Structures are given as C-alpha cells and as structure tokens.
C-alpha cells in the first residue's frame, strides 16, 4: 500500500474530507495520512480507539511516536491523557488500549535505527514545547497568535498538524486535525486564523526520503 508516498510533493489531508478505515483490531479505525507498506508500514495516521478497544501486544522495530488528541490512551506503562506526547524507540513493545476511548496522531517506522531515547511529555500549559531534537529531526508543539505570519522553512521537509484553531498556507485553509506535509526545499508562510492555531510540527526528517 502506498498513500502520499512521493516525498517530493506537497500534501494536504483535511480531517473532515477523509473516511475512517477499519483496522484489524475491533473498534480501532484509522485515517491514513501517508503510508508505505501494509499492516507493518512506514506510516503517519490518525487512529481512533472506541471505548474498551485494544491492539494485541506488538514490537515497534522501527519505533513509534504519538500525540494524544482526545480521550486517554493506555499501555503497560500508564495512562496518557490528551496532550501526552510519547516516543517508543526501535525494539520497544507494548499492548495499547483505551478503556474510555482515545484518538491519537501516530507515526511508525520513522526513527533512526540506533535511537533508544524514550520520551514522555505533556504539551499542555505551554505555548511552545520542544518535544524531541537530534541530528535527524526536530519536533515541537507551538501556539500561533491570531493573524500571525509564520515562516515555514522546510529545508529538509516539514509536517504541520493542527491540534486546535487553524491557519492558511498558499490560500488553503487548515482546521482542527488537518495535516500539511512540505517537501525538502520548501519556503512558505502560514497565517494563523482568527482563533490562532495550536500545531504539532516535525522538521528536518524528510531529506533522506528523496
């Protein structure tokens, strides 16, 4: 399966314009943003867990990072409410579930194979939170004030995911849970909407995909 797999192209996915797709686990549905592979894939996905749903135990050979957008996500290490950001490095394993339901943004099989850094952070209560940085990537949550113009310098590519509020880029409007991927070499601007924008950004990581 290949979805938005050409990393030389700008891609925009609007949450309200895409359908939920059932996963192999009962009660777990997905909106696929990009994907190379089938059930084991390099993937960026919005995943919705119905109350009481779970995945069976599995190992993330290529690592996993996720941001909790709604509800409470869980595994053996604890409960992760809205605003939790987690990085599970390559070779890590867990049994994810959501007793009361949850929605997450998750990226799979996109880590440096040597990365063994675990991250557990909350993005709540701060305007700008650096979630992770190394030689390969830079991950943030940022708050943009209403009307602000933000320079998006995607020298090595960038992803912008709207947690709340919205922005415009090249005249295209992005609202809650919309996603924009900019290819390496892009220089553009985002203009925050009337309510401002709360966004998750990841940059510096797409140059090796070209």
The count of domains in the chain is 2
Confidence at residue 209, expressed as pLDDT on a 0 to 100 scale: 63
For 165, phi then psi, to 5°, come to 75, -145
Prediction pTM value: 0.94
Domain shared by 111 and 95, yes or no: yes
CATH at 6: 2.60.120.10
Residue 188 structural domain: 128-209
Q: By the 8 A CB rule, do 99 and 73 touch? A: no
pLDDT at position 66, please? 96
Query: Which residue from 104, 98, 140 is spatially nearest to 119, judged by alpha carbons?
Result: 140
C-beta separation of 39 from 88 below 8 A: no
Quote the pLDDT of residue 40. 66
Q: Which residues pair with 174 in a beta bridge?
A: 167
115 and 37 both lie in a single domain: yes
Looking at the structure, do residues 104 and 135 belong to the same domain, yes or no? no
- In the chain (210 residues long), the average pLDDT of successive 10-residue segments reads 93 97 93 85 91 82 90 92 92 86 92 80 92 92 97 96 98 98 97 97 82
Tokens of 115: 């990365």
Same domain, 115 and 77: yes
pLDDT in the model for residue 43: 86
Residue appearing with tokens 């992005």: 174
Do 9 and 86 have their domain in common? Answer: yes
Rounded distance between C-alpha atoms, residue 111 and residue 181, angstroms: 18
């Amino acid at each position: 399966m290949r979805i938005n797999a050409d990393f030389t192209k700008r891609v925009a996915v609007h949450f309200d314009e895409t359908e939920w797709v059932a996963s192999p686990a009962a009660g777990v549905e997905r909106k696929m943003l990009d994907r190379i592979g089938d059930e084991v894939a390099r993937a960026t996905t919005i995943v919705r867990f119905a109350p009481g749903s779970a995945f069976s135990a599995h190992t993330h050979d290529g690592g996993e990072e996720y941001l909790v957008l709604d509800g409470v996500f869980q595994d053996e290490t604890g409960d992760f409410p809205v605003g939790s950001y987690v990085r599970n490095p390559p070779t890590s394993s867990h049994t994810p579930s959501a007793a009361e339901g949850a929605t997450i943004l998750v990226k799979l099989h996109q880590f440096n194979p040597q990365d063994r850094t675990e991250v557990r952070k909350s993005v709540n209560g701060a305007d700008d939170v650096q979630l992770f940085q190394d030689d390969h990537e830079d991950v943030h949550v940022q708050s943009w004030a209403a009307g602000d113009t933000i320079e998006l310098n995607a020298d090595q590519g960038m992803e912008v995911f709207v947690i709340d509020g919205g922005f415009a880029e090249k005249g295209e409007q992005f609202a809650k849970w919309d996603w924009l991927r900019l290819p390496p070499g892009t220089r553009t601007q985002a203009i925050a909407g009337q309510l401002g924008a709360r966004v998750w950004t990841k940059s510096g990581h797409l140059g090796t995909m070209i």
